[in-house]
Amino acid sequence: MSLTNNPNVNKWVDEMVALTKPDKVVWIDGSKEQLDALTDEVCALPEGNRDKMYRLNQDKLPGCLYHRTLPNDVARVEDRTFICTPTKEEAGPTNNWCDPAEMYAKLTPLYDGVMKGRTMYVIPYSMGPIGSPLAKVGVEITDSIYVVLNMNIMTRMGKAAFENLGDTSNDFVRGLHSKADVDPENRYIVQFPQDNTIWSINSAYGGNVLLGKKCFALRIASYQGKNEGWMAEHMLILGVKKPDGEVVYITAAFPSACGKTNLAMLIPPEGYKKAGYEVFTVGDDIAWMKPGEDGRLYAINPENGFFGVAPGTNEKSNYNALACTRKNAIFTNVALNNADNTVWWEGLDKNPPEDATEWKGAKVNGKEFTSVIGADGKPQKLAHPNSRFTAPAANCPCVSPEFNNPKGVPVSAIIFGGRRASTTPLVYQSFDWTHGTYIGSAVSSETTAAATGAVGVLRHDPMAMKPFIGYNVGDYWAHWLEMGEKLGDKAPKIFNVNWFKQDENGNFMWPGFGDNMRVLDWIIKRCEGKIDADETAIGYLPKKGDINVEGIEDEVTPEVMDKLLAVDKDLWKKEITEMRRYYKEDIADKGGHIPEALWAQLDKIEARLG
């Protein structure tokens, strides 16, 4: 029974029913009764059924569920992810491209009758608060209860989502998912930006099947934003409440393994806490930003939950993220502690449970299991390195009171950052929006020993968006420049940070984690015009003594701070040479349209370096 009178939705659902031929169709209204019944159903499935989920210890982890995917289906698959536009040039050099007609022809037979013997679930959902002018509606069709229960955490799911759409609009994203047979050879995650459509088949894992996440909220939304005059970015959103009660909002983009979630949920150091500073989380992963009535840029988190990497999350590394997982969360591919039916993963603590179930489902002695060195020369893992938790944002102890504000929050600063051992200082500010856009285009991280291949190789990840831009990367940069023109003097200030600078012995010089508040403090003072800065060839740097090191003076001595803020001209000349190569060989020579203004930024920085 349809939940909407919208003929565009109903026609499309009928077409998908005719294609996939399910035994039964269930519309998801988001009610507790319906969700409880689906939970009972999926937990009652027999052992060995790959859809099966398990209830965890309901005293210690109330409302929490456990699931494991097949060993060949544990991560996003970039090589099976496509942007389908009429021309390859529209998709640009950072995307896998296929002609839409060709891709539909390839996938349609895979979906034909794929839901025979199964139930089709029709999930209406809102990305962003219900009623927000910045929100968008999606409808995902799936044959997986796991997807329904996760989408309930990650989005505003159910009948209310149709309120934003109304009875006539055709502006909704059509998502079709089937776990099919989880055949990796026929696994596809495909975006058709011009059709507002996403098709995903042969995966049952998180990011490939929760189609509101990267598929809609970044790949499709970035294309919508270009056409409609707003921005969809791979950015956290945080608010810093100052002692005077004012809250300043900041967004930040970092490649993976650069501390994004830790910054989003930062706990200020003791001195800042005593002074009355607080940090609020609006989002840990995605920001949709649009100019408001006052001309400033406003951001919402389109999501309603956190899809976090479990390994490494503990009370010390991210107290607030761990707290999010204590109720109504779903854990995927972590290990089980059979003694009390709770969860465990590497980095949670130093005590693997003796009576454990490892992530693939084998019962093992966890202590013995993790002491065995695997074929890769490292100890075996009880939890998969990419194991996940899906947790409601409402669980977060530091969730922002403005989390559901339909207008969003006004953005004062945008931060970019990567993992760089030398070259990049701890923090610097761009000269203007165009220079800031260049800084975003230059975001890169050096490979660590954990990655295959050589250590210290630069991986370019512009705006931390490389896998998520739904169109030509050069046109995406041009859209950034257009947004800057539109915002004028009300545009947020743009900064770059690097928590990972190393000394001559390879040790990190900056303590990081909560102490990153000290850098945010400087950024806020710059936004408010309260302090001056030193003008250098690469941007504005903190003046001596302007970054507060009270309480960490023994660690961050004046000599260390000098190294953290040093601008080595020879290294920066190499950086510019590398950026010229990257722009030309990786982007322009492969069909990327690089705006002239960004080439000009390279010339200007080079001239200033002398």
**Catalytic positions:** 258
User: And the tokens for 35?
Assistant: 């969700």
Indicate the helix (H) or strand (E) that contains 606. Answer: helix 596-609
* R_g (Cα) of the chain, nearest Å: 24
* Cα angle 332-334-339, degrees, rounded to a multiple of 5: 120
User: Could you give the CA distance from residue 52 to residue 593 in angstroms, rounded to a whole number?
Assistant: 47
Q: Across 48-90, where does the E strand assignment appear?
A: 53-55, 65-67, 81-83
Do residues 141 and 121 touch, judged by C-beta distance below 8 A?
yes
Give CA separation, 502 vs 506, 557, 566, 569, in Å: 5, 15, 12, 17
CA distances from 29 to 139, 148, 156, 507 (A): 12, 11, 11, 53
Q: How far is the CA of 403 from the CAs of 260, 301, 319, 400, in angstroms?
A: 18, 8, 20, 5
The gap from C-alpha 298 to its chain's centroid, in whole angstroms, comes to 18
Cα separation, 430 vs 437, whole angstroms: 9
H/E element, 494: strand 493-497
Q: Hey, is 376 helix, strand or coil?
A: coil
Residue (of 325, 303, 332) closest to 144 by Cα position: 332
Q: How far is CA 320 from the centre of its chain?
A: 17
Residue 519 CA to residue 515 CA, distance in Å, equals: 8
The helix or strand, by DSSP H or E, that contains position 444, with its residue range, turns out to be strand 444-446
Q: What are phi and psi of 80, to 5 degrees?
A: -110, 15
